[in-house]
Amino acid sequence: SQTIHQWPATLVQPVGSPLSLECTVEGTSNPNLYWYRQAAGRGLQLLFYSVGIGQISSEVPQNLSASRPQDRQFILSSKKLLLSDSGFYLCAWSVSYTQYFGPGTRLTVL
Amino acid sequence: DQQVKQNSPSLSVQEGRISILNCDYTNSMFDYFLWYKKYPAEGPTFLISISSIKDKNEDGRFTVFLNKSAKHLSLHIVPSQPGDSAVYFCAASVGQGAQKLVFGQGTRLTINP
């Protein structure tokens, strides 16, 4: 069966510090991968998606970037965090229409 | 531009009764619709989906109805159970290749004993 892992589960970072969140998927090959953010009290906003290694599409202009160095690995990064980057970050995978989400990372930028 | 809207931020239902969650959309190009359930501090869990070529899909206690002319879908949960208390998101799919999902804002469902 397929599983998706995200780490860390929680993170508190100062403004201006770098960020690296990692997501890995097991049990499937060549999945589509996604990064979402849920701000407090709001819905899920798609940040990036990838259909293959090295292929990244950005949905919204922002302070973040994404990379896919391996087939089942997706990384979300920032060089300098802003207060507005705080939120709940979710990674998801799909091979058809349905997306399956990881447990999420709660990021607080102080 | 909010393409997927859940106009009820919260809903309270008595245990054993039917819960009906509603969702409206504006983009007629959406071809697949999904419902997710989310507990606090966890990732959303897929519940049920429906293709735009159908008007109903049922899975156990969960049924999704799609009214394309009204651009409206609903999720029925019957009978409602305390474990159903969560935030429910509807989502619509657009695009080929990567199926990008557009989410509604969510509805918090509370099941009262």
Which of A6, A44, A49 has the CB atom closest to B98's CB atom? A49
The pLDDT of residue A96 is 82
What's the rounded Cα separation, in Å, for the pair B70 and B67?
5
Assign B41 a pLDDT band (cuts: 50, 70, 90).
confident
The pLDDT of residue A39 is 80
**Of A87, A73, A80, nearest to A33 (Cα)?**
A73
A59 by DSSP, 3-state: which?
Answer: coil
A84 by DSSP, 3-state: which?
Answer: helix
pLDDT at A95 over 70: yes
The pLDDT of residue B82 is 96
Which of B43, B91, B105 has the CB atom closest to A102's CB atom? B43
Please judge whether A103 and B93 are an interchain contact, meaning their C-beta atoms are less than 8 angstroms apart: no
C-beta separation of A77 from A18 below 8 A: yes
The pLDDT of residue B108 is 96
Neighbours of B76 (CB within 10 A): 16
Chain A hits for B98, Cβ within 8 Å:
32, 34, 49-51, 57, 94
What's the rounded Cα separation, in Å, for the pair A48 and A78?
13
pLDDT digits (tens, 9 = 90+) for B11-34: 999 999 999 999 999 999 898 999
The pLDDT of residue A2 is 87
pLDDT mean over B1-18: 93
Chain B hits for A32, Cβ within 8 Å:
97-99
- The label of the residue with tokens 């090295």 reads A54
The pLDDT of residue B97 is 58
